[in-house]
Protein backbone atom coordinates (compact mmCIF):
# COMPACT_ATOMS: atom_id res chain seq x y z
CA UNK A 1 0.00 0.00 0.00
CA UNK A 2 2.82 2.37 0.79
CA UNK A 3 4.43 1.82 -2.60
CA UNK A 4 1.09 2.40 -4.32
CA UNK A 5 0.61 5.60 -2.33
CA UNK A 6 4.12 6.79 -3.19
CA UNK A 7 3.53 6.33 -6.92
CA UNK A 8 -0.05 7.59 -6.75
CA UNK A 9 -3.16 5.70 -7.83
CA UNK A 10 -6.43 6.34 -9.65
CA UNK A 11 -9.71 4.54 -9.07
CA UNK A 12 -11.60 3.72 -12.26
CA UNK A 13 -14.86 2.08 -13.25
CA UNK A 14 -16.03 0.41 -16.43
CA UNK A 15 -19.67 1.41 -16.61
CA UNK A 16 -21.08 -0.64 -19.46
CA UNK A 17 -21.88 -4.32 -18.81
CA UNK A 18 -19.97 -7.14 -20.49
CA UNK A 19 -16.98 -4.94 -21.35
CA UNK A 20 -15.38 -5.43 -17.95
CA UNK A 21 -13.63 -8.73 -18.66
CA UNK A 22 -12.44 -7.51 -22.07
CA UNK A 23 -11.02 -4.37 -20.55
CA UNK A 24 -9.21 -6.37 -17.84
CA UNK A 25 -7.62 -8.64 -20.45
CA UNK A 26 -6.49 -5.65 -22.54
CA UNK A 27 -4.87 -4.08 -19.52
CA UNK A 28 -3.22 -7.37 -18.51
CA UNK A 29 -1.80 -7.85 -22.00
CA UNK A 30 -0.47 -4.29 -21.92
CA UNK A 31 1.27 -5.28 -18.65
CA UNK A 32 -0.61 -2.68 -16.61
CA UNK A 33 -0.90 -3.58 -12.97
CA UNK A 34 -4.45 -3.55 -11.58
CA UNK A 35 -5.61 -4.18 -8.04
CA UNK A 36 -8.62 -4.04 -5.80
CA UNK A 37 -10.86 -5.17 -8.68
CA UNK A 38 -14.54 -5.34 -7.83
CA UNK A 39 -17.44 -6.47 -9.96
CA UNK A 40 -19.58 -3.46 -10.87
CA UNK A 41 -23.06 -2.84 -9.57
CA UNK A 42 -25.68 -5.04 -11.11
CA UNK A 43 -23.30 -7.96 -11.47
CA UNK A 44 -21.50 -6.71 -14.54
CA UNK A 45 -18.85 -4.15 -15.34
CA UNK A 46 -15.86 -3.77 -13.09
CA UNK A 47 -14.01 -1.20 -10.99
CA UNK A 48 -10.52 -1.10 -9.61
CA UNK A 49 -7.40 0.91 -9.11
CA UNK A 50 -4.20 1.45 -11.07
CA UNK A 51 -1.08 3.56 -10.94
CA UNK A 52 -1.57 7.12 -12.09
CA UNK A 53 1.30 6.69 -14.55
CA UNK A 54 -0.53 3.77 -16.24
CA UNK A 55 -3.85 5.58 -16.39
CA UNK A 56 -2.59 7.79 -19.25
CA UNK A 57 -2.27 4.69 -21.44
CA UNK A 58 -5.63 3.06 -20.87
CA UNK A 59 -7.85 5.31 -22.99
CA UNK A 60 -6.90 3.47 -26.23
CA UNK A 61 -7.30 0.14 -24.41
CA UNK A 62 -10.76 1.10 -23.20
CA UNK A 63 -11.80 2.10 -26.74
CA UNK A 64 -10.46 -1.21 -28.05
CA UNK A 65 -12.43 -3.15 -25.41
CA UNK A 66 -15.52 -1.03 -26.03
CA UNK A 67 -15.57 0.05 -22.39
CA UNK A 68 -16.98 3.30 -21.07
CA UNK A 69 -14.40 4.31 -18.52
CA UNK A 70 -14.86 6.76 -15.69
CA UNK A 71 -12.08 7.92 -13.41
CA UNK A 72 -12.75 8.15 -9.69
CA UNK A 73 -10.65 9.06 -6.64
CA UNK A 74 -7.02 10.03 -7.01
CA UNK A 75 -4.69 9.58 -4.12
CA UNK A 76 -0.97 9.40 -3.39
CA UNK A 77 2.17 11.42 -3.10
CA UNK A 78 2.13 13.00 -6.62
CA UNK A 79 -1.32 14.51 -5.95
CA UNK A 80 -0.31 15.63 -2.49
CA UNK A 81 2.82 17.20 -3.94
CA UNK A 82 0.78 19.09 -6.55
CA UNK A 83 -1.52 20.42 -3.85
CA UNK A 84 1.34 21.53 -1.60
CA UNK A 85 3.51 23.00 -4.33
CA UNK A 86 1.62 26.27 -4.14
CA UNK A 87 2.02 26.47 -0.37
CA UNK A 88 5.71 26.96 0.43
CA UNK A 89 4.99 27.57 4.10
CA UNK A 90 3.73 24.03 4.57
CA UNK A 91 6.67 22.60 2.69
CA UNK A 92 9.09 24.66 4.73
CA UNK A 93 7.33 23.59 7.93
CA UNK A 94 7.52 19.93 6.96
CA UNK A 95 11.20 20.23 6.10
CA UNK A 96 11.88 22.07 9.35
CA UNK A 97 10.00 19.39 11.27
CA UNK A 98 12.08 16.60 9.78
CA UNK A 99 15.29 18.55 10.33
CA UNK A 100 14.39 19.13 14.00
CA UNK A 101 13.35 15.51 14.37
CA UNK A 102 16.71 14.36 13.01
CA UNK A 103 18.61 16.84 15.17
CA UNK A 104 16.73 16.06 18.37
CA UNK A 105 16.98 12.32 17.86
CA UNK A 106 20.76 12.73 18.12
CA UNK A 107 20.44 14.02 21.70
CA UNK A 108 19.33 12.63 25.04
CA UNK A 109 15.92 13.97 25.94
CA UNK A 110 15.58 12.57 29.42
CA UNK A 111 17.72 10.77 31.97
CA UNK A 112 15.95 8.34 34.29
CA UNK A 113 17.75 7.27 37.46
CA UNK A 114 16.58 4.27 39.47
CA UNK A 115 18.07 2.80 42.63
CA UNK A 116 19.53 5.75 44.56
CA UNK A 117 19.45 4.97 48.28
CA UNK A 118 22.17 6.90 50.06
CA UNK A 119 23.73 8.58 47.04
CA UNK A 120 21.90 11.88 46.41
CA UNK A 121 20.22 11.77 43.00
CA UNK A 122 21.31 15.35 42.32
CA UNK A 123 24.96 14.39 42.85
CA UNK A 124 24.56 11.41 40.53
CA UNK A 125 22.87 13.53 37.86
CA UNK A 126 25.64 16.12 38.14
CA UNK A 127 28.23 13.38 37.62
CA UNK A 128 26.26 11.99 34.68
CA UNK A 129 26.13 15.45 33.10
CA UNK A 130 29.89 15.72 33.57
CA UNK A 131 30.30 12.40 31.74
CA UNK A 132 28.04 13.51 28.87
CA UNK A 133 24.67 12.05 29.90
CA UNK A 134 22.19 14.87 30.40
CA UNK A 135 19.11 16.23 28.65
CA UNK A 136 20.33 17.87 25.45
CA UNK A 137 23.73 16.16 25.44
CA UNK A 138 24.67 14.62 22.07
CA UNK A 139 24.54 10.84 21.88
CA UNK A 140 27.36 10.55 19.35
CA UNK A 141 30.12 10.55 21.97
CA UNK A 142 28.17 8.37 24.41
CA UNK A 143 29.94 5.21 25.52
CA UNK A 144 28.01 3.18 28.11
CA UNK A 145 31.08 1.33 29.36
CA UNK A 146 33.11 4.49 29.84
CA UNK A 147 30.26 6.22 31.72
CA UNK A 148 29.68 3.16 33.92
CA UNK A 149 33.37 2.91 34.77
CA UNK A 150 33.57 6.63 35.55
CA UNK A 151 30.51 6.40 37.83
CA UNK A 152 32.00 3.41 39.67
CA UNK A 153 35.17 5.40 40.27
CA UNK A 154 33.29 8.52 41.37
CA UNK A 155 30.94 6.70 43.76
CA UNK A 156 32.79 3.87 45.56
CA UNK A 157 29.57 2.87 47.33
CA UNK A 158 28.14 1.56 44.04
CA UNK A 159 27.89 -2.21 43.73
CA UNK A 160 26.96 -1.99 40.05
CA UNK A 161 25.56 0.52 37.64
CA UNK A 162 24.26 0.24 34.12
CA UNK A 163 23.62 3.07 31.68
CA UNK A 164 21.45 2.17 28.71
CA UNK A 165 20.58 4.23 25.69
CA UNK A 166 16.88 3.71 24.92
CA UNK A 167 16.24 5.89 21.92
CA UNK A 168 16.30 9.42 23.25
CA UNK A 169 16.17 8.32 26.88
CA UNK A 170 19.13 7.39 29.06
CA UNK A 171 18.17 4.76 31.60
CA UNK A 172 20.50 4.61 34.61
CA UNK A 173 20.01 1.78 37.07
CA UNK A 174 22.22 1.23 40.05
CA UNK A 175 22.60 -0.80 43.19
CA UNK A 176 24.44 0.45 46.22
CA UNK A 177 26.66 -1.73 48.37
CA UNK A 178 25.46 -2.93 51.76
CA UNK A 179 27.81 -1.95 54.54
CA UNK A 180 29.83 -4.91 55.80
CA UNK A 181 28.84 -5.84 59.35
CA UNK A 182 31.32 -4.82 62.03
CA UNK A 183 33.47 -7.71 63.15
CA UNK A 184 33.98 -7.84 66.89
CA UNK A 185 37.25 -9.28 68.01
CA UNK A 186 36.29 -11.46 70.97
CA UNK A 187 39.52 -13.41 70.83
CA UNK A 188 42.20 -10.71 71.09
CA UNK A 189 43.51 -9.31 74.40
CA UNK A 190 41.76 -6.07 75.25
CA UNK A 191 41.22 -3.92 78.29
CA UNK A 192 38.49 -1.39 79.09
CA UNK A 193 39.40 2.28 79.38
CA UNK A 194 37.41 5.39 80.27
CA UNK A 195 36.03 7.44 77.40
CA UNK A 196 35.19 10.35 79.72
CA UNK A 197 36.10 11.62 83.14
CA UNK A 198 33.59 11.00 85.92
CA UNK A 199 32.71 9.16 89.09
CA UNK A 200 32.04 5.42 88.89
CA UNK A 201 28.58 4.58 90.22
CA UNK A 202 28.01 1.07 88.91
CA UNK A 203 30.19 -1.73 87.48
CA UNK A 204 29.21 -4.93 85.65
CA UNK A 205 32.40 -6.83 84.75
CA UNK A 206 32.09 -10.01 82.71
CA UNK A 207 35.76 -10.62 81.96
CA UNK A 208 39.01 -9.06 83.20
CA UNK A 209 40.16 -7.53 86.46
CA UNK A 210 38.65 -4.20 87.55
CA UNK A 211 41.20 -1.56 88.46
CA UNK A 212 38.74 0.98 89.87
CA UNK A 213 35.93 0.77 92.44
CA UNK A 214 32.45 2.24 92.69
CA UNK A 215 32.71 5.73 94.09
CA UNK A 216 36.13 6.44 92.66
CA UNK A 217 36.76 9.24 90.20
CA UNK A 218 38.32 8.37 86.87
CA UNK A 219 39.97 10.44 84.15
CA UNK A 220 39.48 10.11 80.44
CA UNK A 221 41.72 7.33 79.07
CA UNK A 222 42.25 5.70 82.47
CA UNK A 223 42.38 1.92 82.67
CA UNK A 224 39.11 0.61 84.11
CA UNK A 225 39.29 -3.15 83.59
CA UNK A 226 42.58 -4.94 82.97
CA UNK A 227 42.88 -7.90 80.67
CA UNK A 228 45.21 -9.67 83.08
CA UNK A 229 43.46 -12.16 85.33
CA UNK A 230 45.16 -13.91 88.20
CA UNK A 231 43.91 -17.34 89.17
CA UNK A 232 43.46 -17.54 92.95
CA UNK A 233 43.96 -21.28 93.09
CA UNK A 234 46.95 -21.75 90.83
CA UNK A 235 48.38 -18.22 91.13
CA UNK A 236 48.83 -18.15 87.38
CA UNK A 237 48.42 -15.03 85.25
CA UNK A 238 46.25 -15.21 82.16
CA UNK A 239 45.29 -12.69 79.55
CA UNK A 240 41.59 -12.18 78.71
CA UNK A 241 39.39 -10.05 76.44
CA UNK A 242 38.02 -7.67 79.05
CA UNK A 243 34.28 -7.04 78.85
CA UNK A 244 31.74 -5.21 80.93
CA UNK A 245 29.97 -1.95 81.65
CA UNK A 246 31.29 0.87 83.82
CA UNK A 247 28.51 3.33 84.54
CA UNK A 248 29.78 6.69 85.69
CA UNK A 249 28.30 10.01 86.66
CA UNK A 250 29.69 12.52 84.19
CA UNK A 251 29.34 16.24 83.67
CA UNK A 252 28.79 17.89 80.33
CA UNK A 253 28.47 21.55 79.50
CA UNK A 254 26.34 22.70 76.57
CA UNK A 255 26.29 26.29 75.35
CA UNK A 256 24.07 28.34 73.06
CA UNK A 257 24.61 31.98 71.98
CA UNK A 258 21.76 34.03 70.54
CA UNK A 259 22.39 37.63 69.37
CA UNK A 260 20.06 40.35 70.62
CA UNK A 261 19.51 41.65 67.09
CA UNK A 262 18.02 39.90 64.11
CA UNK A 263 17.92 40.62 60.40
CA UNK A 264 14.44 40.67 58.89
CA UNK A 265 13.59 40.90 55.19
CA UNK A 266 10.62 43.29 54.81
CA UNK A 267 8.73 43.10 51.45
CA UNK A 268 8.80 46.35 49.51
CA UNK A 269 6.87 47.16 46.37
CA UNK A 270 5.18 44.87 43.88
CA UNK A 271 6.67 41.44 43.21
CA UNK A 272 8.03 40.67 39.74
CA UNK A 273 6.50 37.58 38.17
CA UNK A 274 8.21 36.09 35.15
CA UNK A 275 8.19 32.90 33.18
CA UNK A 276 10.86 31.01 31.34
CA UNK A 277 11.07 27.83 29.32
CA UNK A 278 13.72 25.28 30.18
CA UNK A 279 14.62 23.32 27.07
CA UNK A 280 17.36 20.71 27.13
CA UNK A 281 18.82 22.38 30.21
CA UNK A 282 18.93 25.85 28.58
CA UNK A 283 16.62 28.53 29.96
CA UNK A 284 14.72 30.72 27.49
CA UNK A 285 12.93 33.74 28.98
CA UNK A 286 9.25 34.05 28.09
CA UNK A 287 8.83 37.49 29.64
CA UNK A 288 10.93 40.61 29.41
CA UNK A 289 10.76 41.71 33.04
CA UNK A 290 14.14 42.09 34.71
CA UNK A 291 15.01 41.13 38.25
CA UNK A 292 14.48 44.00 40.74
CA UNK A 293 17.47 46.02 41.84
CA UNK A 294 18.83 45.35 45.27
CA UNK A 295 17.87 42.53 47.57
CA UNK A 296 14.93 40.29 46.75
CA UNK A 297 13.56 36.90 47.66
CA UNK A 298 12.80 34.36 44.94
CA UNK A 299 10.16 31.68 44.87
CA UNK A 300 9.47 29.47 41.89
CA UNK A 301 7.41 26.62 40.54
CA UNK A 302 8.89 24.26 37.96
CA UNK A 303 6.34 22.36 35.88
CA UNK A 304 7.86 19.53 33.86
CA UNK A 305 6.13 18.75 30.60
CA UNK A 306 5.26 15.16 29.86
CA UNK A 307 3.48 13.18 27.17
CA UNK A 308 1.72 9.92 28.09
CA UNK A 309 3.63 9.81 31.36
CA UNK A 310 7.03 10.31 29.70
CA UNK A 311 8.94 13.34 30.85
CA UNK A 312 10.07 15.68 28.11
CA UNK A 313 13.29 17.69 28.28
CA UNK A 314 11.20 20.80 28.73
CA UNK A 315 9.77 22.59 31.73
CA UNK A 316 8.02 25.87 32.44
CA UNK A 317 9.46 27.92 35.29
CA UNK A 318 7.31 30.50 37.04
CA UNK A 319 9.18 32.62 39.53
CA UNK A 320 8.12 35.41 41.81
CA UNK A 321 10.82 37.90 42.78
CA UNK A 322 9.83 39.96 45.78
CA UNK A 323 11.97 43.08 46.44
CA UNK A 324 12.85 43.31 50.11
CA UNK A 325 14.76 45.61 52.38
CA UNK A 326 16.84 43.92 55.04
CA UNK A 327 16.36 45.58 58.41
CA UNK A 328 17.90 44.92 61.78
CA UNK A 329 15.37 44.51 64.55
CA UNK A 330 16.04 44.16 68.27
CA UNK A 331 15.25 40.89 69.99
CA UNK A 332 14.05 40.82 73.59
CA UNK A 333 16.03 38.97 76.22
CA UNK A 334 13.20 36.51 76.81
CA UNK A 335 12.94 35.80 73.10
CA UNK A 336 16.68 35.22 72.83
CA UNK A 337 16.71 33.01 75.90
CA UNK A 338 13.87 30.90 74.54
CA UNK A 339 15.75 30.45 71.28
CA UNK A 340 18.88 29.47 73.18
CA UNK A 341 16.97 26.86 75.19
CA UNK A 342 15.55 25.44 71.95
CA UNK A 343 19.08 25.12 70.64
CA UNK A 344 20.18 23.42 73.87
CA UNK A 345 17.30 20.95 73.59
CA UNK A 346 18.55 20.04 70.11
CA UNK A 347 22.06 19.55 71.47
CA UNK A 348 20.72 17.32 74.27
CA UNK A 349 18.84 15.17 71.78
CA UNK A 350 22.07 14.74 69.83
CA UNK A 351 23.78 13.15 72.85
CA UNK A 352 22.07 9.86 72.12
CA UNK A 353 19.92 7.34 73.94
CA UNK A 354 22.86 5.87 75.91
CA UNK A 355 23.17 9.02 78.04
CA UNK A 356 20.71 9.41 80.91
CA UNK A 357 20.47 12.98 82.09
CA UNK A 358 19.88 13.11 85.83
CA UNK A 359 20.21 16.86 86.46
CA UNK A 360 20.39 20.17 84.59
CA UNK A 361 21.61 23.53 85.70
CA UNK A 362 21.35 26.58 83.47
CA UNK A 363 23.39 29.73 83.76
CA UNK A 364 22.29 32.76 81.73
CA UNK A 365 24.74 35.49 80.80
CA UNK A 366 23.57 38.65 79.06
CA UNK A 367 25.85 41.07 77.27
CA UNK A 368 25.05 44.04 75.01
CA UNK A 369 25.22 41.84 71.97
CA UNK A 370 23.95 38.41 72.90
CA UNK A 371 22.37 36.09 75.41
CA UNK A 372 24.43 33.04 76.33
CA UNK A 373 22.92 30.07 78.11
CA UNK A 374 25.30 27.50 79.54
CA UNK A 375 23.72 24.24 80.64
CA UNK A 376 25.60 21.87 82.92
CA UNK A 377 24.30 18.34 82.64
CA UNK A 378 24.83 15.57 85.14
CA UNK A 379 24.61 12.26 83.29
CA UNK A 380 24.83 8.55 83.88
CA UNK A 381 26.43 6.67 81.05
CA UNK A 382 28.65 3.74 80.20
CA UNK A 383 32.11 5.24 79.82
CA UNK A 384 34.04 2.03 79.10
CA UNK A 385 35.49 1.43 75.69
CA UNK A 386 37.46 -1.57 74.45
CA UNK A 387 41.14 -0.82 73.90
CA UNK A 388 43.29 -3.53 72.31
CA UNK A 389 46.59 -4.17 74.01
CA UNK A 390 49.44 -3.13 71.81
CA UNK A 391 52.42 -0.90 71.60
CA UNK A 392 50.18 2.04 70.65
CA UNK A 393 47.98 1.62 73.76
CA UNK A 394 48.54 4.58 76.10
Partner 1 sequence: MLGWEAHGLLAENGPRMELGGRREATVDGCGGVLEYTETVVRIRYGRGVVKFSGERLRLHSLAAKSLILSGEIQKIEFLPPP
Is residue 64 part of the contact set for partner 1 (CB under 8 A)?
A: no
CB of residue 78 to partner 1, shortest distance in Å: 21
Please return the burial class of 312, using the count of CB atoms within 10 Å of its CB with bins 0-12, 13-18 and 19+. Answer: middle
Q: For residues 18 and 26, what is the distance between their CA atoms, to the nearest angstrom?
A: 14
Cβ proximity to partner 1: between 23 and 108 the closer is 23
DSSP letter at 182 equals: P
Binding mask 222-261 for partner 1 (x = CB under 8 A): ----------------------------------------
**Sole binder of partner 1 in the list 11, 34, 312, 357 (CB under 8 A):** 34
> What gap in Å lies between CA 345 and CA 254, rounded to an integer?
10
Residue 35 in the binding site for partner 1 (CB under 8 A)? yes
Of these, 15, 44, 79, 318, which contacts partner 1 (CB under 8 A)?
A: 44
The residue among 376, 377, 384, 386 whose CA lies nearest residue 356 is 377
C-alpha closest to that of 111 among 310, 300, 315, 317: 310
Distance CA 135, CA 129 (A): 8
Residues in the interface with partner 1 (CB under 8 A) total: 19
* 43 lies in the binding site for partner 1 (CB under 8 A): yes
CA distance 177 to 361: 45
Measured from the CB atom, is 40 or 244 closer to partner 1? 40
Helix-helix angle 144-154:121-130, to 10 degrees: 130
DSSP 76: S
- Say whether residue 58 binds partner 1 (CB under 8 A): no
Calpha distance 174→164 (Å, rounded): 11
Between 22 and 275, name the residue whose CB sits nearer to partner 1.
22
What is the Cα–Cα distance from 226 to 173, expressed in whole angstroms? 52
Q: How far is the CB of 158 from partner 1 (least distance, A)?
A: 58
Find the shortest distance in angstroms from Cβ 71 to partner 1: 18
Q: In the complex with partner 1, which residue's Cβ is closer, 36 or 356?
A: 36
User: Taking CB under 8 A as the criterion, which residues in 204-223 touch partner 1?
Assistant: none
Partnered with residue 274 across adjacent β-strands are 319
Minimum distance, C-beta of residue 19 to partner 1, in the bound complex (Å): 11
Q: Would you say 54 or 278 has its CB closer to partner 1?
A: 54
The footprint of partner 1 (CB under 8 A) covers 20-21, 24-25, 27-29, 31, 33-39, 43-44, 46, 48
Amino acid sequence: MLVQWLFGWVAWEVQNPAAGARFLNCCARARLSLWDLKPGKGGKGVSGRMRVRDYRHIRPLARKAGARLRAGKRRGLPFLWNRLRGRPGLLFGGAAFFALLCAFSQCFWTVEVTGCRTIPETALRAALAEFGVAPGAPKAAFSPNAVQAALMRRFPQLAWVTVNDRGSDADVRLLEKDAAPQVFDDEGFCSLRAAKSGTVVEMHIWAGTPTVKVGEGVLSGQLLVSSVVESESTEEWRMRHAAGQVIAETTQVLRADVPLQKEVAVPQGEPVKRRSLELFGARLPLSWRLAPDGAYTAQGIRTSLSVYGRLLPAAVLEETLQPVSVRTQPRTREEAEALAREELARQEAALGAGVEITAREDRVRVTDEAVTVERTLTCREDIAYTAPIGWETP
